[in-house]
Amino acid sequence: MNAALDLPQIASRLPNVGTTIFTVMSALATERGAVNLGQGFPDFDCDSRILDAVADAMRQGHNQYPPMAGVPALRQAIAAKIQALYGTQLDWGEEITITAGATQALLTAILCCVHPGDEVIVFEPTYDSYVPSIELAGGKPVFITLEAPEYRIPFDRLAAAITPRTRLILLNTPHNPSGTVWHAGDMQQLAELVRDTDILLLSDEVYEHMVYDGQRHESVLRHPELARRSFVVSSFGKTYHVTGWKVGYVAAPAPLSAEFRKVHQFNVFTVNTPMQHGLARYMEDPAPYLDLPAFYQRKRDLFRAGLANTRFKLLPCEGTYFQCVDYSAISDQTEAEFAAWLTTEIGVAAIPVSAFYHAPHESGVVRFCFAKQDATLEQALTRLARI
């Protein structure tokens, strides 16, 4: 007898979700001994001072539940950073919530405001957690395609997509996977479109400190008209090279935060206590995040300079730690086929950008991650130069 046949059957809430492309490509990279420039995480250590701060917090007895919304000192530090960078004063007690990473923040924000039948506008290519989160809430994703190589917002199509059922617009700047950023004019056009509506915004800004060439990060929080209707998400994991810690936060007006916390308290309730205390202490020095643009721009420039000697066509990289390239001069394979070939035959793992679309979409583009040690990038560039 097949024991599996005796198990209770369950109807999947996410029937179209399988193993992510990041897991697939990382496993293939490991199997083939390839340089893994696919999954977006650093291969270098974080600042030892942040480790010391967390260890000290543990030894000082900060090992029990913190307040549901987060340790006050950390929320105060975040509010001070937001005011210094974006000129917006938030009530740290009512408008900032610490989360178990950005993915939990995104899901919780969607669950707290999207009801069955509501429409949520999503720009593709899009980070892979957005659509499943919308579907879990019973919402309907409405897709707007950003076309390579510019990946700019088609505001005419955005305007046409807005209906009386539109509940939420999900934006991401700096944008994963394309590396483009929103500009002040984009925010102004968005404000004009949502003015006099009840549409909410969910702004994924986890790469807020990775914007290059002297540009500023155009946070929704810089724009009061948009901030009043927005959940803004950021990530300590991205900023401080500790992606495995899974600590982030949401900034939102008090009424939105109150609804967010209703879901948050039954989703995770609260977040790792000593890490919150350690992060609060580490944030007393703003240099680590203020210096981050220069830190990653140097890596971006090193990587782009090496790729300039190959047959890849470099696409713009205004932010994030991702570099997209057009490989149409090299191969006519699909993006998934080319990424697999690149990993197995050349020894460098990349991510096909087609994985960031809900339906088949080929533009001949793959994404590399340059949040790596210089030696890792040099090794990858040596291999890519063979193509």
Least confident stretch, 12-21, 124-133, 251-260: 12-21
Q: Could you list the beta-strand ranges (E) of the chain.
A: 35-36, 96-99, 119-124, 140-145, 166-172, 200-204, 230-235, 248-251, 313-314, 322-326, 348-349, 351-352, 365-369
User: Does position 371 have pLDDT exceeding 90, yes or no?
Assistant: yes
Q: Strand 248-251 vs strand 348-349: parallel, antiparallel, or unpaired?
A: unpaired
User: Does position 1 have pLDDT exceeding 50, yes or no?
Assistant: no
pLDDT digits (tens, 9 = 90+) for 114-152: 999 999 999 999 999 999 999 999 999 999 999 889 999
Q: What is the mean pLDDT of residues 325-338?
A: 97
Instruction: Determine what percent of the chain is predicted with pLDDT higher than 90.
Output: 93
Question: Which one of 3.40.462.40, 1.10.287.3240, 3.90.1150.10, 3.40.605.10 gives the CATH number of domain 17-40+290-384?
Answer: 3.90.1150.10
pLDDT confidence tier of residue 294, bands split at 50, 70 and 90: very high
More confident residue, 28 or 234: 234
Q: What is the mean pLDDT of residues 225-230?
A: 98
- The helix (H) or strand (E) run that includes residue 366 is strand 365-369
Q: Where in the chain is the domain with CATH 3.40.640.10?
A: 48-284
More confident residue, 263 or 2: 263
Amino acid 89: pLDDT: 97
pLDDT confidence tier of residue 23, bands split at 50, 70 and 90: confident
What is 48-284's CATH topology? Aspartate Aminotransferase; domain 2 (3.40.640)
More confident residue, 25 or 265: 265
User: Does position 231 have pLDDT exceeding 70, yes or no?
Assistant: yes
CA atoms within a 13 Å half-sphere pointing along the CA-CB vector of 359: 6
Least confident stretch, 7-16, 76-85, 123-132: 7-16
Q: Where in the chain is the domain with CATH 3.90.1150.10?
A: 17-40+290-384
pLDDT confidence tier of residue 18, bands split at 50, 70 and 90: confident
Amino acid 4: pLDDT: 56
